[in-house]
Amino acid sequence: MRRIAFACALALQFASAADAQMLYKCISRAGVSYQQTPCPTAARTVRTFETTPELPPTAAEVTARGKKARQDRAESTYLAHMAGTDRLAAIDRGYASRSSSRRPSNHSRKETACQGAKAKREHTLQRVGLDRNIDLLRRLDEDVAEACASR
């Protein structure tokens, strides 16, 4: 019985060692880097870590994450609509409710241009998501400021 227990413990030791990977923290003139291979000769090894990589998600987990993301988007859209903050829909309702036989005044044209610029900004930010950068935000804000300046 002891031999079996010893053999199992030994097998587990080798199995966990096979799954583990080393991570090296290196410092060189270029700065600090973390890598899977030992540091080059020009860099100094500061610390090594034994890591176990995370297993990739199963197909069921990927499906569940996608379903949750769709549910979250639908809930967010619904709540924005209920709160009246769904600007694109509000702009569309504004265009639809205007009578085509009546010519809009100069003030309402400026208001419409301002609302259109805001809607374009919101649409662009939703489309881009988290890949936005400061230049894009600045450009969108400048467009809105220009359209809304003389309201």
Residues 81 and 83: their CA atoms lie apart, in Å, by 5
Helix residue spans in 1-151 (DSSP H): 2-19, 59-83, 87-97, 106-128, 134-148
79 token code pair:
């709540």
**pLDDT tens track for 69-80:** 999 998 988 888
Strands in 31-35's sheet, in edge-to-edge order, are 31-35, 21-28, 44-51
Tell me: the pLDDT tens digits for 38-91? 999 999 999 999 988 888 999 999 999 999 999 999 898 888 877 777 765 555
Q: Which two tokens mark 77?
A: 């859209």
Give domain limits for the chain.
2-51, 55-85, 86-151
Residue 78 CA to chain centroid, in angstroms? 21
- How far apart are alpha carbons 30 and 48 in whole angstroms? 19
Tell me the per-residue pLDDT of 12-40, one tens digit each, with 9 for 90 and over: 454 444 577 899 999 999 899 999 999 99
CA dihedral (92, 97, 103, 106) positive or negative: negative
pTM: 0.32
